[in-house]
Amino acid sequence: MLEVRNLQQYYGGSHILRDVSLTAKAGQVTVLLGRNGVGKTTLLKSLMGQLPLRSGSIRWQGQAIQGHTPYERARSGIGYVPQGREIFGRLTVQDNLRMGLAYRSGRTPIPQDLFQLFPVLQEMLQRRGGDLSGGQQQQLAIARALAPGPQLLILDEPTEGIQPSIIKDIGRVIRMLAKERGLAVLLCEQYVDFALELADHVVVMERGAVRYAARFQPDIADEIRSLVAV
C-alpha cells in the first residue's frame, strides 16, 4: 500500500501542496480528481521523487521512500506514466519497451503479456515511437511502465488527446490490472466519467489540498462532478 501523509510542496514562494494525504491499496483504483492547476501533477511528481518535498511522508509497502531517488522508487515496484507520455520518439517501439527494463539484465526479455494487453504494439515493434498515433503512444507509455512488473501504477491523465476507442481499451487494461493482477493504481484524470467508471476510491483536490476523499459509490457521482466542474 502507498501511504501519503501531510505533504507540503512549494514552487519558489508559492505553496502548491497543502497537507495532502491519501492512500492507494492493492487491487484498487484510487482516482485523483480536480480542476486544472490544483496541484495534481505536482503531487505525482513528488511521489516519484522528481520534486523534493518540503515536508511530509511517503510510505510504500511499509517503507519510508521520501528520501529515495526516482530510480530507487522505480526499483521498489512503482511504475509511472507521466502526462504527455514522454516516449522516445526516435526509438522503436521495441526499444521504448526495453527502456522500461533498463535496470534489469540486458538479456531480460520483453514480457509477452504486454502484447496481450496492447496487441497493436506487437504489430509495430520496429516502428519509431514518434510515428505512432497519440493513442498508440499512450499504450506504449503504459506498457513501458508495466514492463518491469510494478506493484503500483501511477497514471497522469492517460486519456488526454486520445480517441474514444483507445480510451475504452485503456480503461479495460486499468480495471484488469487492479482486479485480476492486484496492482494498486493511482489514476489522475480530467475525464471524470471515465475515472468514476474505474474508481474504488476518490480523492478530489482543490487549491493544493484534499477537499474530499471517500470510497466511491454510484450515489455520490453527481456530488463529485459538482466538485470538479469548471
pLDDT recorded at residue 103: 79
Share of the chain above pLDDT 90, in %: 90
Q: What's the one-letter identity of residue 142?
A: I
pLDDT over threshold 80, residue 171:
yes
Q: Please state the domain extents for the chain.
A: 2-228
Average pLDDT over residues 175-202: 96
Q: What is the pLDDT of residues 20-58, one digit of tens each?
A: 999 999 999 999 999 988 999 999 999 999 998 889 999
Give the model's pLDDT for residue 11.
85
User: What is the reported pLDDT for 105?
Assistant: 72
Q: Which three cell numbers stand for residue 38?
A: 490544483
- Going by pLDDT thresholds of 50, 70 and 90, the confidence category of residue 224 is very high
Residue 89 binned pLDDT confidence (cut-offs 50, 70, 90): very high
Res. 161: pLDDT tops 70 = yes
* Apex 72 CA angle, 42 and 57, nearest 5: 50
pLDDT attached to residue 76: 95
The band of 104, judged by pLDDT with boundaries at 50, 70 and 90, is confident
**For the segment 124-141, what is each residue's pLDDT rounded down to a tens digit?**
999 999 999 999 999 999
* Domain range 2-228, its CATH number among 3.40.50.11740, 3.40.50.300, 3.40.50.10140, 1.10.10.10: 3.40.50.300
Write down the pLDDT at residue 88: 95
CA dihedral (172, 154, 70, 62) in degrees, to 10, reads -110
Read off the pLDDT of each residue in 107-111 and give the average, rounded to a whole number.
89
Judge whether 218 and 62 are in contact, CB under 8 Å.
no
State the pLDDT at residue 139: 96
The answer to whether residue 230 scores a pLDDT higher than 90 is no
pTM of the model: 0.94
Q: What's the whole-number average pLDDT of the chain?
A: 94
Dihedral over Cα of 153, 158, 159, 164: its sign: negative
Q: From CA 142, how far away is CA 44, in angstroms rounded?
A: 16
- The CB density around residue 118, as the number of other CB atoms within 10 Å, is 23
Q: End-to-end CA distance of the chain, in Å?
A: 32
18 residue type, one letter: R
Cα 97 to Cα 95: distance, rounded to the nearest angstrom:
5
